Amino acid sequence: MYLVNKEKINQSLSTKIVDARVAQVFNSFEGVLVTSSFGTTSAVLLHLVSRIRPGHPIYFIDTGYHFEETLVYKKRLTRLLDLNVIDLRPDPRRHAVTQQQLWSQDADRCCRINKIEPITEIKEKHDVWMSGLIGFQNRHRSTLRIIDKQEEMLKFYPLIDWDSSLVREYIVGHGLPQHPLKEKGYHSVGCTHCTAAGVGRDGRWSEQSKTECGLHRK
Report CA-CA distances (Å) from 47 to 28, 52, 82, 130, 146. 20, 9, 10, 14, 19
Query: Is 169 within 8 Å of 162 (Cβ atoms)?
Result: no
Distance separating alpha carbons of residues 24 and 54, to the nearest angstrom: 15
Q: 188: Cβ–Cβ under 8 A, 6 or more apart, which residues?
A: 39, 40, 137, 195, 198, 200, 201, 202, 203, 204
Residues in the chain: 218
Distance separating alpha carbons of residues 171 and 169, to the nearest angstrom: 6
Which helix or strand (DSSP H or E) is residue 209 part of? Answer: none
213 assigned to active site: yes
Q: Indicate which residue of 110, 111, 191, 213 is catalytic.
A: 213
The catalytic residue positions are: 213
